[in-house]
């Protein structure tokens, strides 16, 4: 949430940044981890937002998406963080009559039957369930006053093998359709829409196509493109789309080797390079050997090439039918118009047997446990002694659970694993048997719920000990129950989260849709997951009357301890696995080539060139014009301003934002890091974690954690670093971020003071755990988000702020952690005193800043508590300001990891060429990402993503690719960008689309807390409202001439840029041979 305030609606996917994610789609009985006091110890915040994400302790559901989902790495939106803000608040509860419905008569005339109608107080909405009479398509229409309108269409798509049909189809249907006969209307929407969300997801048993926008005209454009895409896609008639998105043999010349290419093929190669992902897939398939969850809907790279085009077409015919669809509308638009749009499509179809054929079958429970042992790819020459993984997994029930049981299980899950102080999590980490938790706790998004828990970074000799510890801890919890304070803290955390309904920049309507779909897709009540008030009250009453032990102990015993449907998955590192898999693939391809005649090879080479030509040939203007778009008249000329009052309390600047927040107070306390010694920078993330996860003189860390959970909505601490345009020195701060009900402002500021001033850095063993956990997270990030590592590394070579950030969250930080593990044992006293020194250098009123967002009366009432907090701070820092003037050497680097895909970056500072910032740069860089890089790196090159980023604060322009089968070819594409711009010919309509899409990024949708946070960032970076107005005018007046002129600036990347690749050993070796010693090579993992 901390980073989302500055990003483009963070899951809008108008931008290309990528990570495996779980959107806030969980039903109300499944609660997020670490919500009571998230330390964000690994979450370095830079203003460009390439932080290391605080990973969920839960294992993500095996879900894939059309676009890589935004994370913390470089992406387009970051360029607008200082320009954008739009806020929306949850309104006061309206009466049901305030929202218009659809009369039975109108529904009948449009071909629908109203099944049910409810007012759902929890989301202040009128919800209607319709059934399309002709096809049986089900529609939920949710009406309220949320301007962020959401549409989604979902099909049940259970696969029967691991060829990845649902995933490849999810990519392919958005590559042109009956009404929109161009290569990729989806990309045209990316270029020129005001969408706040645009993507698609493949689950193990369903495929979702959601869109969102605050602009009604734009919203209905998006809806129409998506409906035409799913029902009438070109891909079922166009074999080349199947080849491009799925898989094909590639042969450039008959004398060369054949290779596999395809966007999904390479995406899944990346997935199967990550140990955590491999383990998750193995566990799911072992838990469900007899139904659709026993295969991989995303596709196994070894199996994907077995998929035929005929099977692909048949899957669409069978499942992409209105009879098999669940359709969702949400927001403040006209509910009658929703049905009118749907009827135009649905009336073209008759009924189908698809609902019967797509029904997911139940997995029967085992009579005895199962054990599986597998390997994962590891680097050669590394220490493999403590690199095993073990996860224990249970399938909890054969039949759907009742609502009360589901809620109680979700609560139990939070109690056991939800915070650092939760007993199962704490005991496992404190055991020293492993480095980090794996397994997602309770997972309930599929037909049958599961529970998983384990450790990674385990010695092979300790595997059995981990299993025994899990079982004995669960038995102890069943026998003894939970601490009363822990139950109270969990209840407050859960209630606060439900009532706040803060989904970040993920549209609330989409969060509700995915929540509802968890029941609806299995023919259960779709409204049930949205209504939490009554079951929550019932659970609270039961806890009060019977006690927590009576509620939770039977659940632990029945569903876990006495449940024989248990699968233990062990995974060992195998340094030869990656090369063995590559050799096996090569052998298959050699046999394929050996079985071909000369004519066959010539034909394959011709087909390869034909596909590339199609991919690189622009759509004709008449096809482009078919995609509906807005005009500049639809775009507000003025930026949306944030109410900000700058005041002073106890000599400290205080920013206040008077916004409706539903009685929640959001605050940030900002400290200047400028007096911190350079050598202490890598310790800062661990310092942040220590503040929230070590105890005080009077409180253990468990008690402190529970106090935060009982009194607040959460506190986090993290570093933030950015360049400031026109200045050499970096903007570098520690931010303490907290939220609470306004009536608990005193508690909130008291607890912030407590963690800052009273926490003691004395617990050596806990600190050692922090180091191990951070190291495990960084290693996982290197494999799964290598583009983020490459981006941080390039920044560190180009400016001081980048160097600082990389010390606290890049490859240098990983190297620091690896060395620190031994030092904790040998030199703890020095480390402890260094942590104390960091505190002394930070804590003072001098350079402190307070930011608050709430209703005016609550801001006024909170001021006395702010004053009390500030009076307890030292007036000045005991240490003098220091200067950080370091950068990494400007050499090209290759960081070698065991992977089947690459992450390739190249960057330079274009301000060094004399370029002066103009708003047109935002339009141009977005256009480059959505055309040149999309077509060459993703479509033709086969990478999952390719994009560029311009950091207007530092002047760094960077190119990055994600899950890329190429290395040198991608660098050559980057170097060709300047020439692409010089040769560019663009009509007025295309230019207008690009401008509108850019404004969509600038006017990103934000909830009130994010709005206040964005205002804080602009204040810290010196970005005024006048500058925002000027940049907006420059964006709106962008011309083709600006594109041509920018080509000279971007040539700096080709001529003077630094390249960093996180890549496989084979690809780096090949690159070094082809271009003699292009890279300085570093081995990792």
Instruction: Give the model confidence (pLDDT) of 265-314 as tens digits.
Output: 999 999 999 999 999 999 999 999 999 999 999 999 999 999 999 999 99
| Cα 767 to chain centroid, rounded | 28
End-to-end CA distance of the chain, in Å? 30
Range with the poorest average pLDDT among 17-31, 176-190, 247-261: 17-31
Q: Residues of the chain with pLDDT > 70: what percent?
A: 91
What is the predicted pLDDT for the residue at 383?
77
What is the predicted pLDDT for the residue at 848?
96
Cα–Cα distance for residue pair 796/812, rounded to 1 Å: 10
Cα–Cα distance for residue pair 841/827, rounded to 1 Å: 21
Catalytic residues: 170, 245
Task: Give the pLDDT band (50/70/90) at residue 877.
Answer: confident
Where b means 16+ CB within 10 Å and e means fewer, 299-328 reads bbbeebbebeeeebbebbebbbbbbbbbbb
Residue written as token pair 């005339």: 109
Of 266, 273, 232, 270, the closest CA to residue 246 belongs to 266
Instruction: Extract the tokens encoding 389.
Output: 């993984």
Residue 354 scores a pLDDT above 90: yes
pLDDT, mean of residues 324-332? 98
Range with the poorest average pLDDT among 12-21, 458-467, 646-655: 12-21
Q: Residues of the chain with pLDDT > 90: what percent?
A: 86
What beta strand segments (E) does 450-598 contain? 450-458, 566-574
Cα–Cα distance for residue pair 847/843, rounded to 1 Å: 9
**Three-state SS string across 768-830, please?**
HHHHHHHHHHHHHHHHHCHHHHHHHHHHHHHCHHHHHHHHHHCHHHHHHHHHHHHHHHHCHHH
- Assess contact for 81 and 1014: CB atoms under 8 A: yes
Residue 505 scores a pLDDT above 90: no
What is the predicted pLDDT for the residue at 884?
80
pLDDT, mean of residues 791-818? 97
What is the predicted pLDDT for the residue at 120?
96
Of 484, 497, 560, 580, the closest CA to residue 532 belongs to 497
pTM for this predicted structure: 0.91
What is the predicted pLDDT for the residue at 789?
97
Q: Tell me: the pLDDT tens digits for 88-128? A: 333 334 444 456 678 999 999 999 999 999 999 999 999 99
**What single DSSP character describes residue 700?**
-
Burial class (CB in 10 A: 0-12, 13-18, 19+), 430: exposed
Residue 431 scores a pLDDT above 80: yes
What is the predicted pLDDT for the residue at 71?
38
């Amino acid at each position: 949430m901390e980073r989302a305030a500055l990003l483009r609606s963070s899951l809008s996917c108008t931008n290309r940044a990528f990570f495996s994610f779980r959107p806030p789609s969980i039903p109300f009985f499944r609660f997020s981890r670490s919500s009571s006091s998230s330390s964000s110890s690994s979450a370095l915040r830079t203003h460009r937002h390439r932080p290391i994400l605080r990973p969920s302790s839960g294992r993500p559901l095996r879900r894939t998406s059309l676009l890589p989902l935004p994370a913390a790495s470089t992406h387009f939106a970051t360029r607008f963080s200082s320009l954008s803000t739009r806020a929306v608040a949850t309104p006061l509860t309206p009466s049901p009559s305030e929202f218009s419905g659809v009369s039975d008569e109108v529904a009948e005339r449009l071909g629908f039957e109203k099944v049910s109608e409810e007012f759902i107080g929890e989301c202040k909405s009128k919800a209607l369930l319709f059934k399309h009479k002709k096809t049986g398509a089900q529609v939920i229409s949710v009406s309220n006053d949320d301007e962020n309108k959401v549409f989604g269409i979902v099909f049940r798509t259970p696969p029967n093998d691991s060829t990845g049909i649902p995933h490849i189809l999810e990519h392919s249907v958005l590559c042109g359709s009956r009404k929109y006969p161009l290569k990729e209307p989806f990309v045209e929407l990316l270029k020129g829409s005001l969408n706040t969300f645009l993507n698609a997801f493949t689950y193990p048993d369903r495929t979702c196509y959601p869109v969102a926008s605050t602009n009604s005209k734009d919203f209905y454009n998006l809806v129409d493109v998506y409906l035409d895409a799913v029902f009438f896609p070109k891909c079922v008639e166009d074999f080349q789309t199947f080849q491009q998105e799925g898989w094909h043999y590639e042969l450039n010349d008959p004398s060369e080797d054949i290779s596999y290419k395809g966007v999904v093929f390479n995406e899944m190669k990346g997935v199967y390079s990550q140990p955590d992902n491999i383990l998750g897939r193995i566990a799911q398939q072992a838990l469900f050997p007899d139904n659709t969850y026993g295969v991989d809907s995303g596709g196994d790279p070894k199996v994907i090439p077995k998929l035929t085009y005929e099977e692909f077409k048949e899957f669409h015919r069978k499942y992409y039918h209105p009879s098999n669809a669940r359709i969702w509308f949400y927001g403040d638009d006209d509910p009658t118009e929703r049905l009118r749009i749907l009827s135009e499509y649905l009336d073209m179809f008759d009924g189908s047997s698809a609902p019967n054929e797509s029904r997911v079958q139940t997995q029967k429970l085992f009579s005895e446990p199962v054990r599986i042992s597998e390997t994962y790819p590891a680097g050669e020459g590394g220490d493999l002694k403590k690199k095993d993984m073990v996860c224990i997994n249970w399938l909890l029930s054969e039949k759907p659970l009742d609502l009360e049981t589901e809620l109680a299980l979700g609560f139990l899950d939070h109690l056991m694993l939800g915070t650092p102080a939760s007993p199962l999590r704490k005991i496992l980490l404190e055991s020293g048997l492993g480095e980090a938790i794996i397994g997602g706790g309770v997972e309930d998004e599929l037909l049958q719920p599961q529970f998983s828990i384990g450790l990674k970074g385990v010695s092979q000799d300790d595997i059995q000990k981990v299993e025994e510890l899990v079982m004995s801890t669960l038995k102890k919890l069943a026998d003894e129950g939970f601490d009363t304070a822990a139950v109270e803290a969990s209840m407050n955390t859960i209630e606060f989260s439900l009532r706040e309904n803060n989904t970040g920049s993920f549209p609330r309507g989409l969060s509700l849709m995915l929540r509802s779909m968890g029941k609806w897709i299995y023919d259960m009540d779709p409204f049930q997951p949205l209504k939490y008030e009554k079951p929550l009250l019932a659970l609270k009453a039961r806890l009060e009357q019977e006690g927590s032990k009576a509620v939770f102990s039977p659940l632990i015993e029945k569903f876990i301890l006495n449940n024989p449907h248990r699968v233990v998955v062990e995974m060992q590192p195998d340094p030869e696995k990656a090369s063995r898999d590559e050799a096996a693939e090569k052998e298959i391809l050699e046999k394929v080539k050996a079985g071909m005649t000369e004519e066959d090879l010539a034909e394959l080479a011709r087909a390869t060139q034909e596909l590339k030509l199609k991919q690189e040939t622009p759509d004709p203007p008449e096809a482009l014009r078919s995609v509906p778009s807005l005009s500049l008249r639809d775009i507000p000329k003025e930026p949306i301003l944030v109410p900000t009052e700058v005041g002073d309390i106890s000599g400290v600047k205080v920013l206040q934002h008077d916004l409706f927040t539903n009685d929640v107070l959001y605050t940030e306390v900002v400290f200047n890091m400028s007096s911190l010694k350079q050598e202490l920078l890598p310790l800062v993330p661990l310092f942040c974690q220590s503040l929230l996860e070590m105890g005080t003189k009077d409180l253990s860390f468990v008690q402190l954690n529970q106090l935060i959970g009982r009194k607040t909505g959460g506190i986090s601490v993290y570093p933030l670093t950015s360049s400031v345009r026109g200045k050499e020195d970096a903007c570098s701060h520690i931010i303490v971020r907290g939220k609470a009900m306004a009536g608990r402002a005193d508690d909130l500021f008291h607890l912030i003071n407590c963690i800052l001033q009273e926490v003691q850095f004395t617990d050596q063993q806990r600190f050692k755990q922090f180091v191990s956990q951070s190291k495990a997270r960084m290693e996982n990030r290197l494999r799964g988000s290598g583009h983020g590592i490459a981006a941080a590394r390039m920044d560190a070579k180009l400016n001081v702020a980048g160097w600082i950030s990389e010390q606290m969250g890049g490859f240098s930080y990983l190297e620091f952690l690896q060395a620190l593990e031994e030092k904790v044992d040998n030199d703890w006293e020095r480390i402890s005193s260094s942590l104390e020194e960091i505190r002394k250098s930070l804590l003072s009123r001098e350079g402190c800043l307070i930011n608050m967002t709430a209703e005016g009366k609550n801001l006024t009432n909170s001021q006395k508590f702010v004053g009390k907090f500030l009076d307890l701070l030292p007036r000045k820092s005991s240490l003098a300001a220091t200067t950080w003037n370091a950068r990494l050497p400007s050499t090209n680097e290759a960081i070698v990891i065991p992977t089947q895909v690459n992450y390739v970056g190249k960057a330079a500072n274009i301000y060094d060429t004399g370029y002066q910032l103009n708003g047109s740069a935002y339009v141009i860089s977005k256009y480059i990402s959505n055309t040149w890089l999309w077509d060459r790196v993703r479509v033709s090159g086969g990478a999952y993503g390719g994009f560029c980023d311009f950091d207007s604060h530092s002047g760094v322009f960077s190119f990055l690719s994600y899950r890329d089968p190429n290395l040198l070819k991608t660098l050559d594409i980057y170097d060709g960008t300047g020439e692409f711009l010089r040769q560019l010919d663009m009509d007025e309509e295309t230019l207008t689309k690009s401008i509108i899409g850019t404004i969509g990024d600038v006017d990103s949708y934000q909830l009130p807390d994010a709005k206040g946070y964005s205002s804080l960032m602009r204040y810290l970076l010196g970005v005024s409202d006048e500058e925002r107005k000027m940049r907006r005018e420059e964006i709106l007046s962008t011309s083709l001439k600006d594109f041509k002129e920018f080509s000279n600036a971007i040539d700096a990347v080709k001529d003077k840029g630094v390249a960093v690749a996180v890549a496989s050993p084979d690809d780096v070796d090949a690159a070094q041979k082809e271009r003699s010693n292009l890279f300085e090579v570093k081995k990792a993992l």
